[in-house]
Amino acid sequence: MVHHRYATVEGRRLFYREAGSAGMPAIVLLHGFPTSSFMFRNLIPQLEGYRVIAPDHLGFGLSDAPPADEFDYSFDALADLTAGLLDQLGVTRYAIVVQDYGAPIGWRLAIRDPDAVVAVISQNGNGYDEGFVADNWQAVWNYQREQSPENAAALRAALTLEGIRYQYVTGVEDESILSPDTWHLDHAFVSRPGNAEVQLKLFLDYATNPPLYPALHEWLRSRQVPVLATWGKYDPYFGPDGARAFARDTANAEIHLFEGGHFLLESAGDEVAALIREFLAKHLPTA
């Protein structure tokens, strides 16, 4: 049974999906851009025996989305809110499932509290410089260097319906297996008044993420953290070298490259779920 709930953290109302109960091993699912915990709707029921918590980040999905002039959006701030939610729920030790933006939020949680995160499942959640596909990051890097109207306009194209659809369909051989509900729902949320400025603020703040990678790698090396990387190898933003690189820092890395793209759960959800269950049985057993 999946429950759909709200909690107030630091005065902000956060939506989250939850399954399982206290006392079960915990898994925290952290979504990417421009989606929400909706991306995990089919995965959560397949994680029976675990307490699963999947929040919508502030500014995304059904969580509050204060305008950028009322809240200082950053990955630090999103990690603070996630940590606050987990504290309210009494979750102190957990595995993380990260995708896209969920990765830098998850890395911050692990670096701040190295004992809390006991295993990592990365579905195209980058943690290495070689993971970036430069052609499709150039517009972000241009905006980080200069916040000109022209550079902002290039990024606003990623918030259009076609720009979001591109993220879902690129690298998927048979587009008919994808549900169009996904990109239409994402587009509806990012089209709310003021949300484009929220997204631009996070594009700008993404520059703070690569400087954290050495601390992430040290955490992986020093603790030999188990990592499962399930990666759509035709992701236009995060290439498969980003998956392979995890094996450099932990001997407990399992790398699986799929025929697929950025949102692998939409095209290979059952296969990924089976790998996750097998991985968790080894590293976060239910009994």
Catalytic residues: 262
Task: Give the CA distances from residue 156 to residues 110, 153, 190, in Å, rounded to whole numbers and listed in that order.
Answer: 31, 5, 10
Q: Is 257 helix (H, G, I), strand (E, B) or coil?
A: strand
The structure tokens listed for 133 are 């596909």
Ramachandran region, residue 60 (left: φ > 0; alpha: ψ -120 to 50; beta: rest): beta
What are the b/e assignments for 112-144, b being 16+ CB within 10 Å? eeeebbbbbbbbbbbbbeebbbeebeebbebbb
List, in sequence order, every beta strand (DSSP E) within 56-113.
94-98
Q: Which element (helix H / strand E) includes 219?
A: helix 213-223
d(CA 224, CA 220): 5
Q: Distance of alpha carbon 112 from its chain centroid, rounded?
A: 18
Tell me the residue ranges of DSSP E strands in the chain: 2-9, 12-19, 26-30, 51-55, 94-98, 117-122, 227-232, 253-258
| DSSP 3-state percent helix, strand, coil across the chain (nearest 5) | 45, 20, 35
Rg from Cα positions in the chain: 18
Contact between residue 182 and residue 266 where contact means Cβ atoms under 8 Å apart: yes
Fill in the amino acid letter for 252.
N
Give residue for tokens 């939610």: 85
Report yes or no: 269 and 97 within 8 Å, Cβ to Cβ.
no
